[in-house]
Structure 1
Amino acid sequence: MSAPKIIVQIAIAGAQIFGKAFIAAGRQAIQNAKHRPEGGIGGADIAGIRNATSGSITDKLTLQHRMTLDEARLILNVKKEEPMEKILQHYEHLFKANSPPKPKQTESVKPRASARQSTPIHSHYLQSKVVRAKERLEAEMKALSETPEASQTTAPPPSSGSTTPPPSS
């Protein structure tokens, strides 16, 4: 065999391998584009929402607010046992920290052009997460405050005796 013939055969084999790999990658890309996970909101397991299936009040609130209680606490940097006043303090601080800056009033003296002024960074996304976290914690506290009253009015307290009625003679 001559050298040019071998080089041509290697090039053809390489092109065939490359072509097959390219076709397989295209097929996989089409499958990935068509795939939709079942049961999730928006296709992904956002904040553990897929696990909220027990039907409890907390799970209903998780599905409604699309945020778990733990995620809300992490966003606002509060602990489980902290009172609502502390939660509101954290909320107000984070809300203000992510708010856009107030427009400044015009000044008669202009600053020097060489002096760099830093503009505060704000994020509408983070601000909305802070608001949603506060709403989730408020909804949980409201639901927990309503639950004991509802269980006391609808169901009688269990008796401490046996479950069978006394015999009547």
Structure 2
Amino acid sequence: MSAPKIIVQIAIAGAQILGKAFLAAGRQALANAKHTPDSVIGGDVAGLRSATSGSITDKLTREHRMTLDEARLILNVKKDDPAERISQHYHHLFKANSPPAADAKAAKPKPGTRPHAQSIYSHYLQSKVVRARERIEAELKAASGPASEASQTTTTPPPPSSSSSAPPPENGKSS
């Protein structure tokens, strides 16, 4: 065999190998594009896909987009904890993730002292705490029975306002 003929055969074999590799990669990319994992947004959030039995608990899970176990984990309460303990944990976590008070920002450290660590707060965590409390309250309300739901027309009170908001105007006058 001559040298040019060998070079051409090597080039053809290399092109075949490269073509097969690109074809396999394309097929895999197409398969990956068609597959949607559960962790993607809109996937099985909080067990929603498995909550299909039509029970009240599954309905509440779909409504609040949070399972009862997840709500208990967020508020750090157990299944048999009383409502008072749940409320205590809720208020503590809500305040811990609230922005600092306006007067605390104005206070400056004295010369020669170290300033305190800056407060860290999270609106996201605060909203998760509120949603967890709402989910547990909805479960307790559903467990108390449908007859008592019809007689109770009160709504869940809003979360306590953070101390950084302005106080309401006095004597009904607005500024």
Provide the TM-score with structure 2 as the length reference.
Answer: 0.63
Percent of counterpart pairs with the same letter? 68
Of 91-100 and 116-125, more deviation after overlay is shown by 116-125
CA distance 1:60–1:15, shift in 2 (3 Å) = same
1:138 aligns with 2:137: yes
Of 140-149 and 62-71, more deviation after overlay is shown by 140-149
Q: Which ranges in structure 1 are unaligned for 5 or more consecutive residues?
A: 151-169
Q: Which residue of 2 aligns with 1:20?
A: 20
Residue type of the partner of 1:68?
Answer: T
Distance 1:5 1:45 in 2: 59
Aligned residues: 146
Distance 1:69 1:14 in 2: 59
Q: Which has the larger radius of gyration?
A: 1
Q: CA deviation at 1:27?
A: 3.8
Residue type of the partner of 1:20?
Answer: K
Distance 2:85 2:50 in 1: 29
CA RMSD of aligned residues (A): 3.7
Distance 1:148 1:3 in 2: 94
- Cα deviation digits, residues 110-167 of structure 1 (max 9, x gap): 789xx676323322222221111111001111111133658xxxxxxxxxxxxxxxxx
CA distance 1:92–1:29, shift in 2 (3 Å) = farther
Provide the TM-score with structure 1 as the length reference.
Answer: 0.65
Q: CA deviation at 1:51?
A: 1.6
Q: Which residue of 1 aligns with 2:96?
A: 97
Distance 1:119 1:7 in 2: 70
Q: CA deviation at 1:105?
A: 0.9
